[in-house]
Structure 1
Amino acid sequence: MEVEMSLDEDLRSLAARQHCLFTTDQAQALGASRSALDHRVRTGRLHRVAPRVLCLGGVPMTTQLRQWAILLECGGTAALSHQTAAAHWGVPGYRVEPIQVLRLRDGTYPPSRLGVVHHTRSLPDDHVAILDGLRITTPARTLFDLAPHVSPGRLERLIDHAWSHRLVTGRLLDRTLRDLSRRGRPGIRIMRALLAERGPDYQPPDSALEARFEKLLREDGQAPMERQVDLGGEDWLGRVDFVDHEARVIVEIDSDLHHTSISDRRADAARQAALEAAGWLVVRITEFELWHRPQEVVERVRRARASAWQRTGS
């Protein structure tokens, strides 16, 4: 009886350090036999979360606990990954469950009933972060892991979101590309192309509206415009959304949220007057027009650029 009580105390102490969980290997290292563990499961003192992972009896099985459990099941080098990692980093459109984990390809393991286990030949330490105590792939590594599973357009949006929210940088993505760049790795070709197109000093769109406008210009065959530019020297005119410096054309995107009140409209009018006085042609586009009248938008911008060139005599 004393031996049993001592074992129970040791197991509880171990579980207390691991969110109420432990593996059968850890328990056996403390002297627990398989039959002793099975007996504790039958009597409710323990609960079998997975074939090799046990939990203290009576502990509710939450999503957080399942994440801890699958990491224990997969070993110390494993990390939450793919859509689960994306959800933890706040990437829109992703959820934690079904839980996905990445582990090194260092043996043969049965599928996990707790989630989806992916295997990789390379998972360097700097591809893993600790978030809320959980091992999780970094945002940069997560993008590379998602690359084979999403469309190129979706991947572009994921990169821009992570970049604009300062989850990644161009240099960090380039370093991750070098780490993973091997012949035949799924998703590497498209990632290489998208990163080459952007360059290390790329400035991603600050909003979906800016991304939408850039896409419309690109599809219309127009030259891109520089985004988020401060105009004016000592007499600062403000930061504008898009600029064509050669044609001296400015495009301002008026969102429904920030440009509909009387004070917003008054401020917009005053700034536009200052910009026009400084020789700029200003095109204002509403959020509604951007989404529902795209052809009208590109035609207005094209006409503005053409008239600006005629005005300057170029």
Structure 2
Amino acid sequence: MTRYLALPRRLAARPFRASTSGLSRSRLRASDLAAPHRDVRVPAALADDLLMRCVALSTVLPEGACFSHRTAALLWGLPMPASDGDDLHVTVPAPVRAPRIRGVVGHQSRAVERVRVPAGLWVSTPGRTICDSAPDLDRVQLVSVVDHLLSTRTAADLSESIAAHPHPQAARLARALAEARPGVDSPRETALRLAIVDAGFPEPVVNGYVQSAEGFIVAKADLSYPRYRVAIEYEGDHHRTDRRQWFRDVARYRELESLDWIALRVTTADLTPSPRDLLAQLALHLRRRGCPLPTLRLPPR
């Protein structure tokens, strides 16, 4: 078994540049160090995740660079769709040449808008990130990203950030901002809300509280029509697999039923390939409760 000299403490906890490490060439070639990029070493004990990959790359990026596009979106925790590739996106200020590194997609911009995050990385601002990511997102995905951002930022802040620089996606971004709502918990809830509104229903309340006659909060509905006591609950797979969540769901639906609320429970199967049957059922419940619905535009099956 090969024994290696232990790494100095300053090098053992994060990626580092080989050329400034002070380690010998033989030590830099040791199997307990990964070499994801030229002149970069990563202790094998460290996690091989997005954050660590970005930290490793940041050691050799030029001054003024930042992580951007899909990479920035993931670092901000935005709900991005799955992707076949895992390249890291980096933007540099002109006239600096965009990096040409294996596994890296380089971009150049006249105005790099970036902030430093706790991990020490420079990342494009949330507003700039959604501008850069918009071309790769469809309407529902883009609105779900903005929904997520509205949990920590106001629509006015995002609008100002988006308007700060001309962008080919400006019209789409403005529409997404108009359609986004704070308080949405997941992309599936965004898709459900947009399907309901697109079909011609009145817009439902997002994450509204249901109160008893005594004023106690008994439930928080994903989407609801309080006047007609109809709740629409999206149930991800954890509602089925998490035992405690399932018990909470049963108790919540019992409470809603006792208050004469209808709870329309929705799963991913109700949305794909078409939400037509779900929307027809919602229309039936609302009309029975006296809601004067207009002529609906139900999607084909």
Please tell me the TM-score bracket, short chain as reference. Answer: 0.5 to 0.7
202, 216, 219: which one aligns with 2:195: 216
Aligned pairs (5 A) from 1:104-115: 104-108=93-97, 111-113=100-102, 115=104
Distance (whole Å) between structure 1 residues aligned to residue 131 and residue 214 of structure 2:
44
Q: TM-score, normalised by structure 1?
A: 0.65
User: 1:197: which partner in 2?
Assistant: 179
Greater relative contact order (Cα < 8 A, sep 6+) = 2
Distance (whole Å) between structure 1 residues aligned to residue 89 and residue 69 of structure 2:
6
163, 167, 175: which one aligns with 1:178: 163
Aligned pairs (5 A) from 1:69-148: 70-92=57-79, 93=82, 97-108=86-97, 111-113=100-102, 115-124=104-113, 127-148=114-135
Aligned pairs (5 A) from 1:52-71: 54=39, 67-68=54-55, 70-71=57-58
Q: Show structure 1 runs of 5+ residues with no match.
A: 1-11, 27-39
Distance (whole Å) between structure 2 residues aligned to residue 287 and residue 97 of structure 1:
29
Distance (whole Å) between structure 2 residues aligned to residue 231 and residue 285 of structure 1:
16
Query: Which amino acid counterpart does residue 229 of structure 2 have in structure 1?
Result: V
Distance (whole Å) between structure 2 residues aligned to residue 299 and residue 250 of structure 1:
14
User: 1:21: which partner in 2?
Assistant: 17
* Residues 110/223 of structure 1: CA separation in 2 closer, same or farther (3 Å cut): closer
How many residue pairs match? The answer is 265
- Structure 1, residues 41-87: CA drift from partner, whole Å, max 9, x if none? 9x76889x899x7458x977978776456445442211111222223
Distance (whole Å) between structure 2 residues aligned to residue 286 and residue 50 of structure 1:
44
* Counterpart contact for 1:91–1:158, Cα < 8 Å: yes
Q: Percent identity?
A: 19
More helix by share: 1
Structure showing greater radius of gyration is 1
- Structure 1, residues 164-185: CA drift from partner, whole Å, max 9, x if none? 4x3x4423312311322x2xx2
1:284 matches 2:264: yes
* Counterpart contact for 1:227–1:241, Cα < 8 Å: yes
User: 1:296: which partner in 2?
Assistant: 277
Distance (whole Å) between structure 2 residues aligned to residue 237 and residue 15 of structure 1:
52
Q: TM-score, normalised by structure 2?
A: 0.68
* Residues 267/214 of structure 1: CA separation in 2 closer, same or farther (3 Å cut): closer
User: 1:4: which partner in 2?
Assistant: none
* Residues 109/50 of structure 1: CA separation in 2 closer, same or farther (3 Å cut): farther
Q: Show structure 2 runs of 5+ residues with no match.
A: 1-7, 30-34, 293-301
1:229 matches 2:225: no
* Counterpart contact for 1:83–1:94, Cα < 8 Å: no
Structure 1 residue 289, shift from structure 2 partner = 6.2
User: 1:7: which partner in 2?
Assistant: none
* Residues 190/111 of structure 1: CA separation in 2 closer, same or farther (3 Å cut): same
